[in-house]
Each structure stands twice: as structure tokens, then as C-alpha cells.
Structure 1
């Protein structure tokens, strides 16, 4: 059987990716859609003081992520191990900073000598940790299903950001994997030459300092080549440009925004008064 690969994907590593499965709807949405849908809920969650509201949003975000995109083992570990452990650790840490005088009317949870941790302080800490986790979970809806190049293209095409700014950001985004490659080459060259041998934190700092100058020189050379290539193609000479990759905004994007904002409004309405401290 012969496998046919897309020539665009071979030539341009930043071409929009094709989702592995058509029913994973989050991958088919415009990047701006996922931001616009969750942004009102993220803003309002800052003012929430109860534990039920952020917990519901965490469940909602998890359901969308699990049904709307393909997750790897690393992402599954983040969702089901790192986030719960972080909630417990951050919640307990926040509870230690709560003024004991404001919660001393609640039952004691932990006593060590003359120090007492009240259940009221623990509730405040858990509510703060759940609020942070809910904001993170909502941000992951777009973060796990959107690439930087697609977000830049969507900003140029839908928000009409000047393409000089948008594609400059896209070029900067391309620097990141290149720097990783350049750093691996520099490390290999230093190992071959026997520079900065040794173990321990001071040896690691010395090796890191030795990487700075060649990495900076490589960055300057690469930036110069990119600038010359952009000038040769008359980049920025015209007010508009023809887009090679279109990131469309379709009716499904409108439906998702309206549905998510409506669901968020229902959740906030059912858990009212969520502004009470």
C-alpha cells in the first residue's frame, strides 16, 4: 500500500494540521473561537469564592477536552495526576495564609501545639485552588488544540492584525525549535572539545554560560537571513497580502461560542451568589 503525503505538509512544517479524527471537533474550530468562548467564564471565575462553581467548570472543561481532541499519555498525566495533586498542595498552602481570627468560629481541622488549622481556612484555600485549576482547565481547551502559527494566522485574517506584526510573531515562533536544535549542536561540539567537564551545579552553570555566546551568534545570523529573505520578497511593501493558509471562521464557531457562553451563564446563575466572600 502506498502512503500519499501532503506536499504542503512536507514543505511547510507550519501548515495547518489535519486532525486525526473528524469527530474531534475542537481541532476543527477557529483558534479565536476557543478563546472567545472561555474568556467570559475565566474573567468571572476570578471573583468566585465558592467551591462548587469552579468544580463544575473543571468537569465541563475535562469533558470537552476528552471528547473534543486526542490526548496523549503526557496530557492524561497532566489532567488526572498533576492537576489534582496541584489542587491539594495549593489549597493546603493557601489555607495556611488565612487569618485565623476570621475563621475561628469553624471547627478545628488540625492542631499542632498552640497552632490550629480551622476547616474554614481549609475551605478558603481549596476554593482558591479550585478557582486556579478551573481557569487553567478552561485555558487548556484552546491550548491543547491550537498551534501558535494558526493563532497568528487567525489574528491576521479575522482580527485584521497588520500582517507585518502577525508574521513577525510567526517568524519568532519558528525560532524556538531552531534554538533547541542549535543548542543541541553546541552541546555536542563542547563535549567533543572537552569544554567545561565536571559535575555539580557550578559545572552546569559554567557549561550554560559557555552556550550563550555561540547561541546568540547563531540567533543573529538566522535573524539576518530571515530579514534578507523578507526584503527580497517585498514583505511589508503592500497593505495586504494573499494568504496561503486560510483559517476559516464558520457557523460551527458561532454555535460553539454561543453554546459555551450560555452554559457558563447557566452555571453562574445556578451557583449564585458566587460573588459572596
Structure 2
């Protein structure tokens, strides 16, 4: 207890689900957390658009490596980051690549060697190359989106959009308030489950018991959602939300020189990669 009242701390679980929770402190070398959220969005967007139109495997592989370097250097090491980079992205790229190779038109690659043949169906090496290139392309796009997704909070993105892009604050903060319902629903669902467990309601196992339990959650969840929506609406009305064309923001998210440098450097490196590999041919 401090002189000004109790000090509230936010645990890891609350920080994971609460879009308003402050992020954990990071060392200075984790530079991605100090950048404007819009800079982390503007930098990879042109590359993501261009990756849709490339067909080789080298270009998405190069940008995948670039995204990995940015995340490993600029983001905080967490279990989620390690799982994404070491397991989720490579496995997804492999599975998608094999799946796309089976969907590739055999008439386009029938001049390549046969890898596998079952009855009248033949898998050619060219189909595998096309499928893996597509999987790599999707993996590179996902990895580039993680540069902003893993190092940006929802409130900061909304504030930056309102302050730099001049998005009407009525739209930005209303969307943020709606997004805040997600952790609220999770918390209320936890309470409802505990209450049902204490009362022994909808016990048993099997699909019918599970269906009965979920039907028992719907009514109290809807009632809680209505109550929460009314409280949010009353709170916004009490603060004259939307009564003026702009509002005073206590927490500023400015665009600094380092944001411009990051975007320019990312675009320069991307241009060098595209010029060297030139995936569209002559």
C-alpha cells in the first residue's frame, strides 16, 4: 500500500488478453518496441503486396530470413516467438507446400521427373517445387506481419492512426472498446463455468453433455454482454465522447526520425533483394 493508494500490477495472463495492458519492459536493443506502430506496418506492406505476384522460391526465402532477423534482434524472446519461428511457420510452410503441390495442374509440369505415382495420379517434381514456393511465399508474408503484430499493442496502433493518419477518434476508440469485449467475455465465461461446476449443473461426459453445458453458458453470457455494453455506453456519454471534433490524448505516439529511418532502410534492403533476385524474369 502506497501513500496514494494500492498499487495494481498486471500479471502475464492479463497482459496477454487485455489490449489495454501495458507491455513488458524490454532492453534497448529490442528496437521494434520503440518504433511507431505505423512504421512497422508501412515498411513491410509493399513487400507483402509484391510477394503475392512472385513465383520463385528464392525471393520469399530471402524475405523470410529478413523477417526472422528483425524478429530475433528487435523483438523480445518469448515462448510464443520461439514457437512461431521454430515450429509453426516452418511446419505450416511445409504442409501448405505439399498440399499445393498436389493441387498443381500436372499438365504444366509433366516434363519434370516423376516423384510419386499412384494409379492414374502422378506427382511431378515441378509440382513440388511450385507448392513449396507457394508455401514459402505464405510463410514470408506471415513472418513480415509478425514484425508489427508481436511488438505492437492495440491502443498504440489506434492512437497512432488517430494522431498520424487522422482517423476519426470516434471510429478508432469505438473499435478499441469493442475489442475490449474479448477478454471481458473470457473472464465472464470463466466465472460462469466455475458457478456451474459448484452447482453441479450439466455434469457428465460426452457430446450431449458438452452441448448442454454450452447452451447453459449462452444466456448468462448474453446478459453479461448487455450489462457491459450499457456500462461502456454510459461511461462514454459521461465523458462527452463524440461531442467534439477532436479530443485531448494523454498518451502520445509520435512519428520520430527513427521511424523514417526504419521504413527507408527496410525499403532499401527490400529493393536490393528484388533487384538481385528479380523474380519476374525479363
> TM-score, normalised on structure 2?
0.90
The 1-side partners of 2:179 and 2:160 are apart by 15
The residue aligned with 1:266 is 272
The 1-side partners of 2:230 and 2:30 are apart by 41
- Does the Cα contact within 8 Å between 1:9 and 1:15 map onto a contact in 2? no
The residue aligned with 1:66 is 72
Unmatched runs of 5 consecutive residues or more in structure 2? 11-17
* Residue-by-residue CA offset, 1:30-71 (whole Å, 9 max, x unaligned): 101100000000000000100000000000000000000112
Instruction: Pick the aligned partner of 2:215 from 202, 209, 234.
Output: 209
Any idea what SS the aligned residue of 1:244 has? coil
- Does the Cα contact within 8 Å between 2:19 and 2:180 map onto a contact in 1? no
Q: Aligned residues, how many?
A: 270
Q: CA RMSD in A?
A: 2.1
The 1-side partners of 2:207 and 2:257 are apart by 55
- Does the Cα contact within 8 Å between 1:8 and 1:15 map onto a contact in 2? no
- Does the Cα contact within 8 Å between 2:38 and 2:157 map onto a contact in 1? yes
- Does the Cα contact within 8 Å between 2:98 and 2:128 map onto a contact in 1? yes
- Does the Cα contact within 8 Å between 2:154 and 2:176 map onto a contact in 1? yes
> What is the CA-CA distance between 1:273 and the residue it aligns to?
3.5
Instruction: Pick the aligned partner of 2:47 from 16, 41, 44.
Output: 41
Question: Which structure 2 residues correspond to residues 43-122 of structure 1 after superposition, within 5 A?
Answer: 43-122=49-128
Runs of 4+ in 1 over 4 A off after TM superposition: 7-13
> TM-score, normalised on structure 1?
0.92
Question: Which structure 2 residues correspond to residues 85-234 of structure 1 after superposition, within 5 A?
Answer: 85-234=91-240
Any idea what SS the aligned residue of 1:246 has? coil
* Residue-by-residue CA offset, 1:238-275 (whole Å, 9 max, x unaligned): 1111101111110000000111011111111111143x
Unmatched runs of 5 consecutive residues or more in structure 1? none
